[in-house]
Chain A
Amino acid sequence: SYELTQPPSVSVSPGQTASITCSGGKLGDKYASWYQQRPGQSPVLVIFQDNKRPSGIPERFSGSNSGNTATLTISGTQSMDEADYYCQAWDSTTAGYVFGTGTRVTVL
Chain B
Amino acid sequence: QVQLVESGGGLVKPGGSLRLSCAASRFTFSDYSMSWIRQAPGKGLEWISYITTSGSSIYYADSVKGRFTISRDNAKNSLYLQMNSLRAEDTAVYYCARVPLVDNDSFDIWGQGTMVTVAS
- Please determine whether B106 and A102 come into contact, CB atoms closer than 8 angstroms: no
Distance from B79 Cβ to chain A, minimum over Cβ atoms (Å): 15
**Pair count A-B, CB < 8 A:** 65
User: Separation in Å of the A67 CB from the closest CB of chain B?
Assistant: 18
Contact B103 A48 (CB under 8 A): yes
User: Are B46 and A99 interface neighbours, CB within 8 A?
Assistant: yes
A60-108 CB contacts (< 8 Å) to partner B: 86, 88-90, 95-102
Bound Cα distance A37, B100 (Å):
19
Do A48 and B95 contact each other (CB < 8 Å), given the known contacts A42-B112, A86-B44, A96-B47?
Answer: no
Contact B108 A54 (CB under 8 A): yes
B76 to chain A, nearest CB (A): 22
On whether the beta carbons of A42 and B45 are closer than 8 Å, the reply is no
